[in-house]
Chains A and B, each alone.
Chain A
């Protein structure tokens, strides 16, 4: 990371590329066309490919057989997390994600459940509209909706909905203690506890 943060151009071996000025007059443009047509620059590029092929030192991966690891802050298809303590769903149905969504792709219905608690009865995200900005994860007060690493969401239609069940951590994953916390937008920043003023308690 350090090297990217250093903005001092002179120390980093940066140099100016010598690019000649574009021609402005007709003759100059004609000369450029002739030059580009007969210098066979295409084969320069093809030779690079050929050379690397022969060397068998390939840097690309054979997707989809192979996949790159995804960073913990990557913002792909949303996930709905469960509570570690009880395996219950974290989502309380507050509707903030629906409100903040700038592409208006989240929609939810809530109702009162048998225990007089607020329950999410329907929850959909239209991935065709979603721009994966991460606002929903950031605004979520319960760390319930987060982004995940699942980026393969090609679809035959523009509209492509995912629902609550699809995003929810499967109970088996929970039982196996395998739910991964999202580290990107909305996650708790370090040293959060030190910044909180404590409320006095009578007991």
Chain B
């Protein structure tokens, strides 16, 4: 795309060709009113208020694309009249309940009504019964709804649940004389508005979606409200604490809105989580899982003394990756000083994977981020249950599919109806577990630049191809002439007589042909449809930007080293940009900061994990620690950004920094270590307080800083192991993944996320078996056994049983040997 110069209200603007005028204007601080448009989504054209004049013609700024030399006027007299009429229409029958509305002044209807100066009403239509609906975690009040369809657009273009749609409103049509008397666009907009309200696509009155709440966040009025927040507080009372979500590796920008708990209790409490919904979309865990703080902690001096003693005694520190970079740095400093072994299995496997990858790619970390993926138009996902491992990666996938007319291949053994439902241009390949190598070889085969790839790999890939003669039945249309007898009235005699008429007709005819086709054995090895290549060719039409997302299944794979090298080869020798999903919140940060060991020693201190002495932000350990929403610090995201997060709630106890100080380190606050992160490769020496945290009007994310992707020494050896064709789990299989909205024990501790712990089976698998939801079953693998109740989950399909990892009490990790899949026997008890 080339840059063009357009002129808005006399101001010369340089923008990319094809950018929407509205976005170009916003990026240059020129104001054009707009209600229904959502940045990153396709234009809805519901509100029509963004009307501007481009080269003398009225266009909508949200869908007019910038062309070189375009001349745009944002207001003219006619446009003013249209806008005034549009706002009057929005105010028709809008209840005067602003006093109790949960939008409490953060209302775009109020803002634009005042801005455009609507002080009288000229239009009227009889209202219909618009009683409110309780949709579960959301509350919809059609009375307040202005049908801008932003919720529908967000759900379709960002989230991909397609749970909302417009449905018929019923009631009177508009008075016919308005068609003449009203401004044209205002009438057209009203005519559509008057016929619709928002409804659910599943036909019921209860939402069955991935419960992200993004529709309520984008609602410009108080029509869609989170049920948990309803009538709890006015927005102006809430203090917004900018933060980074601590649940997964996406590192979403959020703000915790806090206020005193009640009249009687002055302690701060988080009431809701808000986000910059134009630029970032949250998942249900980020949106609703905010009250995971470690409550009512005071400084327990004995426990602290015990902790210091435990540190002196210990030779190992075990921890999880739900910690900040600063804490990881403290642990590393302690290791350097006292020689602790740092044990974190999940970060260790990611670290190993990264270093194996670097050996071939020559870069320290993967090269791309989710924003690039969102803007690409062909995405491949391998080795991740993308919906639950990193919801933002799924949003990027969906956004690419819907707004870029993209296509995608999703390689994963677990059948996922949500992912399959994103678009008709996504092909889900449910291969057997352990076949991820084949998938990567297939990607190399389909997309790799054969002229540059090492010759032995090219030869190896060629060995899977064979020519075969196949009989193809084609349907061709053939012209057939038929003689039909018809009864016709003889005009002369007036009698009816039989005559013969010749009629020609096109008749489909099946013809068999012998054709030589190329057969790719990789495709059949993965169990894909025979006509995959045809589908693939269709998918590949007009695709020019490619992204590949790989995930945790690969890091723990028995052949992870080979997979890492294959992934690096794909990035190096194809057009694919690469993103890896770090397993937990700060796995990437930990993998970069800490030198991790494989095995623990004799006495271990655990941080948020089981050990001989446990420090816990969950409030269950020997010494309390603050949870992420009570801490200042930085978190490293999947986008390779070091994002700052602030303490939303006070914490009265000891933090890791206090222990470190007691052990001889010296820092007043944990964030004193932010600047010292600069000593780690890739990080910058920036103080915590100097880290920016905002988005610009052009949507550019200015939060913290980006990790530098350093070049590493490349071994000339690019060899990869061949496929072990015997690999592939069969039979009854379990998979370690969380249900939607759950990640760790922290999300489990929240009140609004009510997903149960248990053995997750798809509803179709349950129907086929003798088991029922709620039955207690024992799951047994060669590594261990657990007993839990069955939870029926319609967000997965197929026969693989999913065991969540968010509940450490379930201890599902003990059932597998690193790799997230295992064969198991499931018996009712």
Binding site for B on A (CB under 8 A): 92-96, 98-99, 107-112, 116-119, 122-124, 141-142, 197, 199-203
When distances are taken between beta carbons in the complex, the residues of chain A under 8 Å from B99 are 92-94, 96, 141-142
With A111-B231, A122-B264 in contact, is A201–B124 under 8 Å at CB?
Answer: yes
Chain B residues with Cβ below 8 Å from A112 are 230-231
Whole-angstrom distance between the Cβ of A87 and the nearest chain B Cβ: 20
The residues in B between 136 and 177 inclusive whose CB is less than 8 angstroms from any CB of A are 172, 175
Residue numbers of B with Cβ under 8 A of A are 98-100, 104, 119-127, 132, 134, 172, 175, 230-234, 236-237, 260, 262-264
**In the bound complex, CA of A19 to CA of B124 (Å):** 73
Known interface pairs A111-B231, A142-B99, A201-B124. Does A95 touch B119 (Cβ–Cβ under 8 Å)?
Answer: no
A106 shortest CB reach to chain B, Å: 10
Residues of A with C-beta under 8 A to B98: 94
| Contact in complex: A99, B234 (CB < 8 Å) | yes
Q: Which residues of B contact A98 (CB under 8 A)?
A: 237
A197 touches B119 (CB 8 A): yes
From the candidates A95, A107, A141, A197, name the one contacting B263 in the complex (CB within 8 A).
A107
Which residues of chain B are near A197, meaning CB under 8 Å? 119-121
For residue B87, give the distance in angstroms from its CB to the closest CB of chain A: 14
- Determine the distance from Cα of A107 to Cα of B234 in the docked complex, in whole angstroms: 12
Interface pair B237/A95, CB less than 8 Å apart: yes
User: Is the beta-carbon distance between B263 and A109 smaller than 8 angstroms?
Assistant: yes
A110 proximity list for chain B (CB < 8 A): 231-233
Q: Which of B121, B123, B234 contacts A95 (CB 8 A)?
A: B234
A92-B264 contact given A98-B237, A111-B232, A112-B230, CB 8 Å threshold? no
Given the known A-B contacts A110-B232, A119-B231, are A200 and B263 also in contact in the complex, defined by CB atoms under 8 Å? no
Quick one: which of B123, B230, B231, B237 contacts A99, CB cutoff 8 A? B237
Can you name the residue of chain A whose Cβ is closest to the Cβ of B98?
A: A94
Which residue of the partner chain, among A99, A122, A124, A142, contacts B236 with CB atoms under 8 Å? A99
CB-nearest residue of chain A to B119: A197
| Contacts A/B (CB < 8 Å), 28 sampled | A92-B99, A93-B100, A93-B231, A94-B98, A94-B99, A95-B104, A95-B237, A99-B234, A99-B236, A107-B260, A107-B263, A108-B263, A109-B262, A110-B231, A111-B232, A112-B230, A112-B231, A116-B132, A116-B134, A124-B263, A197-B119, A197-B121, A199-B120, A199-B124, A200-B122, A200-B123, A202-B124, A202-B127
Instruction: Please indicate the chain B residues that have their CB under 8 angstroms from the CB of A119 in the complex.
Output: 231
CA distance A140 to B120 in the complex (A): 23
Whole-angstrom CA separation of A142 from B97 in the bound complex: 11
- CB-based contact B120/A203 at 8 Å: no
Q: Contact between B126 and A203 (Cβ–Cβ < 8 Å)? A: yes
* Chain A hits for B127, CB < 8 A: 202
Given contact pairs A99-B234, A110-B231, A111-B231, A202 touches B263 in the complex (Cβ within 8 A): no
Please give the distance in Å from B637's CB to the nearest CB on chain A: 36
CB neighbours of A124 from chain B (8 A): 263
Among B100, B119, B120, B127, find the residue whose CB has the most chain A CB atoms closer than 10 A: B100
Chain A residues positioned under 8 Å from B124 (CB to CB): 199-202
In the complex formed, the residue of B with least CB distance to A116 is B132
What's the least CB distance linking A78 to chain B, in Å? Answer: 16
Which 9 A-B pairs give the minimum distances between C-beta atoms?
Answer: A94-B99, A122-B263, A202-B126, A200-B124, A118-B100, A118-B231, A199-B121, A95-B234, A202-B124
B134: min CB distance to chain A, Å:
8
Rounded to whole angstroms, the CA-CA distance of A95 and B236 in the bound complex is: 10
CB distance from A90 to the nearest CB of B (A): 11
Contacts of A117 in B (CB 8 A): 100
Whether B262 lies near A202 (C-beta < 8 A) is no
Chain B CB count within 10 A is highest, among A94, A99, A202, for: A202
Chain B residues closer than 8 Å to A93, beta-carbon distance: 99-100, 231
Q: Nearest chain-A residue to B235 (Cβ)? A: A95
A95 to B134, CA, bound (A): 24
Across the interface, which residues of A come within 8 angstroms of B260, CB to CB? Answer: 107
Give the distance in Å from the alpha carbon of A95 to the alpha carbon of B99 in the complex: 8
Given contacts A109-B263, A110-B233, 11 further A-B contacts (CB under 8 A): A92-B99, A94-B99, A99-B234, A99-B236, A99-B237, A111-B232, A116-B134, A141-B99, A199-B120, A199-B124, A200-B122
Which residues of B sit under 8 angstroms from A92, Cβ to Cβ?
99-100
Query: CA–CA, A116 to B102, complex, Å?
Result: 13
Residues of A within 8 A of B134 (CB): 116
Chain B residues closer than 8 Å to A202, beta-carbon distance: 124-127, 172, 175
Question: Is there contact, CB below 8 Å, between B237 and A200?
Answer: no
Q: How far is the CA of A193 from the CA of B690 in the complex (A)?
A: 56
CB contacts (< 8 Å) of A123 on chain B: these are 263
- Are the C-beta atoms of B126 and A94 separated by less than 8 Å? no
Please indicate the chain A residues that have their CB under 8 angstroms from the CB of B236 in the complex.
Answer: 95, 99
Contacts of B264 in A (CB 8 A): 122
B292 CB, nearest partner CB in chain A, Å: 23
Q: Could you tell me the distance in whole angstroms from the C-beta of A114 to the nearest C-beta in chain B?
A: 12
Assess the A122–B121 pair: CB atoms within 8 A: no
With both chains docked as a complex, state the minimum distance between the C-beta of A177 and any C-beta of chain B, in angstroms: 27
Q: What A residues does B120 contact at CB under 8 A?
A: 197, 199
Considering the chains assembled together, what is the distance between the CA atoms of A107 and B132 in angstroms?
29
Instruction: Tell me the nearest residue of chain B to A200, going by C-beta.
Output: B124
Closest to B139 in A: A116
Is there contact, CB below 8 Å, between B262 and A122?
Answer: yes
Bound form: Cα–Cα A96–B235 in Å? 12
Closest CB in chain A relative to B105 CB, distance in Å: 10
Residues of A close to B231: CB separation below 8 A:
93, 110-112, 118-119
* A141: B residues at CB distance < 8 A: 99
Name the CB-closest residue of A to B236: A99
**Min CB gap B357→A, angstroms:** 51
Q: How far is the CA of A92 from the CA of B102 in the complex (A)?
A: 12
Nearest residue (CB) in B for A124 is B263
Chain A residues in 8 Å Cβ range of B125: 202
Complex formed: what's the CA distance from A117 to B131 in Å?
Answer: 13
For B104, the chain A residues whose CB sits under 8 A away are 95
User: CA of A203 to CA of B120 in the docked complex: distance in angstroms?
Assistant: 18
- Rounded to whole Å, the gap between the CB of A99 and the closest CB of chain B is 6
- Report the minimal beta-carbon distance from A125 to chain B, rounded to whole angstroms: 11
Q: How far is the CB of B133 from chain A (nearest CB, A)?
A: 10
Determine the distance from Cα of A112 to Cα of B132 in the docked complex, in whole angstroms: 14
**How many angstroms between the C-alpha atoms of A201 and B124 in the bound complex?**
6
Q: Which residues of chain A come closer than 8 Å to B123, judged between CB atoms?
A: 200
CA distance A107 to B264 in the complex (A): 10
Q: In the complex, which residue of chain B has the Cβ closest to the Cβ of A161?
A: B263
Residue of A nearest to B134 (CB): A116
Q: Which residues of B contact A116 (CB under 8 A)?
A: 132, 134
The complex places the Cα of A179 from the Cα of B481 at a distance, in Å, of: 96
List chain B residues, Cβ under 8 A from A108.
Answer: 263
